[in-house]
Amino acid sequence: MRHAPTETCACDAMSLPLINRELAQALRIPPDVPTYYRVATKGKDMQSLFQILMLVLDIVWFFIIAHVIMSWLINFQVLNLNQQLVGQIWYMLNRILEPIYGRVRRFMPDLSGVDLAPLVVLIAVYACRIILQNNISAFY
């Protein structure tokens, strides 16, 4: 819910709106914080949340791509699961991604050996990124 600012303040050749008392109380901003600082920092917390969400989606994207590439390399016997590093990475990716893939596989038909769960999850992650980017104004 947005409230209209009541006054303006000239700071560094910029005019920033001041927050009225009701809005400051609703946002739980301490009264000793200057009003121009209140406006300048309100969006930074939400911007941080937006950036964290985008980072999490980027990490999930990277894990899925790494998992798909590793599965191809393992199936074509380029990588060997008996190698310690390869095995550890493979089992880590499986432990992270299998709960997500399992939920998707419940709703997908059996395609006899073709697993489209990673593709569906990639599309979902990309859709979440688009939704976040199109609604970035809600974070400021």
pLDDT tens digits, 93-110: 999 999 999 999 999 988
How many Å is the Cα radius of gyration of the chain?
A: 24
Is there a domain that residue 15 lies in? no
Is there a domain that residue 5 lies in? no
Does 10 have pLDDT greater than 60? no
**Do residues 19 and 35 touch, judged by C-beta distance below 8 A?**
yes
Q: Which two tokens stand for residue 69?
A: 């590439």
Does 18 have pLDDT greater than 90? no
Domain range spanning residue 63?
Answer: 43-139
What is the pLDDT, as a whole number, of residue 82? 94
Q: Is the dihedral of CA 26, 31, 33, 35 positive or negative?
A: positive
Helix (H, G, I), strand (E, B) or coil at 128: helix
What is the pLDDT, as a whole number, of residue 138? 77
What is the pLDDT, as a whole number, of residue 37? 47
Q: Which two tokens stand for residue 124?
A: 């979902």
Is there a domain that residue 16 lies in? no
Question: What is the domain count for the chain?
Answer: 1
pLDDT band at 24 (very low <50, low <70, confident <90, very high): low
Distances (CA, A) of 43 to 13, 50, 74: 20, 10, 46
Is there a domain that residue 8 lies in? no
pTM of the model: 0.67
Does 8 have pLDDT greater than 50? no
